[in-house]
Amino acid sequence: MSTDANNSPKAPVDGPPPIRINRRTLLLGLGALGAIGGLGYWLTEGLPQNQGSAFATPLRIPPLLASEIIDGERVFHLSAQAGESELVPGVWFATMGFNGPHLGPTIRAARGEHVRIHVKNELTMATTAHWHGMSLPASQDGTAHQSISPETTWTAAWQIGQPAATLWYHPHPHGQTELQVSRGMAGLFLIDDDAPSGLPSQYGVDDIPLIIQDITVQSGGQRSGTPTTAPIGRIGNTVIANGTHEAHFVASTSLVRLRILNGSAARCYNLELSTGDTFHLVGTDGGLLPAPVPLTSLLLSPAERAEVLVTVSRDADLVLRSVPHDLGMSQADNAISGAGDTLGILRITRAGDASTAKLPASLASAAHPGRAAAVDRHFTLGDTTINGKAMDMSRIDTVIAANSTETWMIENASQRAHNFHIHGTQFVVNAVNGQSPAPQNRGWKDTIFIAPGSTAELTVPFGSFADPSTPYMYHCHMLWHEDQGMMAQYVLTDGEQAAATIHHDDTMHH
């Protein structure tokens, strides 16, 4: 089988040449390099990456998590587990997941529903379950303030109060988030609403979840340690989609909706189709856009989501891949952070009897708030700090009136690429460096990439859940930075109410 991943007219002229290499050769090659250079993350550079392969393994689809209605609530059960997974044929990894050894099932609930989720910790270390992008009380948000000790269960319950969106869940334990997420603890959380979308919506058929992560293949199949000298954190040399290496999806329709999550700890993906064809962005972190936006490339930093429609014509054979991009750092830092890599992610072909579907002309998008005249708060990003401080779980950094809307200016004053995530809400990006943001940042967002020397101005409507003693987080979602303390806390209060002593909920005390 052949793909056109290696001969697209858009391939960079200075990129690595196509290499045909079988698995045995690859591993032997890695072993030889390892023997010369020791175990170093530099091994990820200059090696064949998903090239010249068949992309023949069927894309795994995370199962939908079963639920039952009890006393008017939709009740789910999750269990954090560790195990081993064959993420690359013949190569086993120590992994973590929910309800299995790697990744987690897809949770699905409708706007207006009351959900209750029991999370059991079967790991040997503390974990949490954070509902990324969700509007909910801070006490249910699953940060380190709601730590789940081994062999205990934590329960979160809230009413879904936001529009249809592709959210996700992942652990948020103090200082251990990179380890747990990069080992596979991540799942999608899909919100449905009543608005007719006209979009492909058959889960696993034409509505496809796609969790993209990078892993490191070395001789013997072990992952490398965290590369602390890399500016943005751990960068793997191999990419997987839903835990599938060199994945293949056979479309049974002419229009496929991909719900893409960058589930990596640090690696950014500049997505394009190997054919150079246009695809259509229909949704961002927090919901749908007013209308499909044609794009030929899309940069996703860790934790960001994009819903895209890919047209799969008869006889199509294309590869969704990540191509070189500029993270705004020095050439050396960009390279060591993976920005020069070309990585195949998912091959898509079409079944002969595929049905045809049409691109919707418009979508049901939630209206944006107006832009205020003045900035309410400034945040300066350092190497691993926010406003010069490292995270202190006992310090409340920001007190905000519930139901208020604020304008935040985020400035990356460091030499490192960062992004910025605010818990408990979705925001609108008014401007990046004073200019209208890129199309991919014009919808509702909860995480925004901010290059060195850049600013992002955000309009942030805060929630109604006043609780002066339980903080939400805002932080860099490059997880090594987060674990280093690039995180701060805000509380929502009623009017003039002052922040109270922080309430720390730990299942150990129950």
Bridge partners of residue 88, in order along the sequence: 91
Q: How far is the CB of 483 from Cu ion (least distance, A)?
A: 10
- Pick the stretch among 84-92, 119-127, 460-468, 471-479 that binds Cu ion (CB under 5 A): 471-479
User: CA 65 to CA 391: how far, in whole Å?
Assistant: 34
Which residue number, 364 or 476, has a Cβ lying nearer to Cu ion?
Answer: 476
β 238-241/73-88 pair status: unpaired
Q: How far is the CB of 266 from Cu ion (least distance, A)?
A: 8
Task: Find the binder of Cu ion among 281, 450, 476, 488 (CB under 5 A).
Answer: 476
In contact, 409 and 375? CB cutoff 8 Å? yes
Sequence length of the chain is 510
Q: What residue ranges in 172-254 does DSSP mark as E strands? A: 187-192, 207-215, 238-241, 244-245, 247-253
- Pick the stretch among 20-28, 66-74, 330-338, 475-483 that binds Cu ion (CB under 5 A): 475-483
Neighbours of 122 (CB within 10 A): 14
User: CA 435 to CA 430: how far, in whole Å?
Assistant: 8
In contact, 296 and 440? CB cutoff 8 Å? no
Q: How far is the CB of 361 from Cu ion (least distance, A)?
A: 38
Q: How far is the CB of 330 from Cu ion (least distance, A)?
A: 16
Which residue number, 156 or 478, has a Cβ lying nearer to Cu ion?
Answer: 478
Q: How far is the CB of 376 from Cu ion (least distance, A)?
A: 23
Q: How far is the CB of 132 from Cu ion (least distance, A)?
A: 16
In the shown chain, the binding pattern of residues 394 to 433 toward Cu ion, with x for contact by CB under 5 A and - for none, equals ------------------------x---------------
CB-based closest residue to Cu ion:
476
Q: How many residues interact with Cu ion (rule CB under 5 A)? A: 4
- Pick the stretch among 61-69, 72-80, 139-147, 479-487 that binds Cu ion (CB under 5 A): 479-487
In the block, which residue shows the tokens 């209605």? 69
Which residue number, 418 or 421, has a Cβ lying nearer to Cu ion?
Answer: 418
* Positive or negative torsion for Cα 303, 304, 309, 313: negative
Task: Find the binder of Cu ion among 65, 164, 310, 478 (CB under 5 A).
Answer: 478
Residue 329 in contact with Cu ion, rule: CB under 5 A: no
Which residue number, 160 or 235, has a Cβ lying nearer to Cu ion?
Answer: 235
User: CA 402 to CA 138: how far, in whole Å?
Assistant: 12
User: CA 209 to CA 220: how far, in whole Å?
Assistant: 30
Q: How far is the CB of 418 from Cu ion (least distance, A)?
A: 3
Residue 364 in contact with Cu ion, rule: CB under 5 A: no
Three-state DSSP state, 396: coil
Residue 481 in contact with Cu ion, rule: CB under 5 A: yes
**Interacting residues of 33 by C-beta distance below 8 A, sequence separation 6+:** 43, 47
Q: How many alpha carbons fall within 13 Å on the CB side of residue 83?
A: 17
Binding site for Cu ion (CB under 5 A): 418, 476, 478, 481
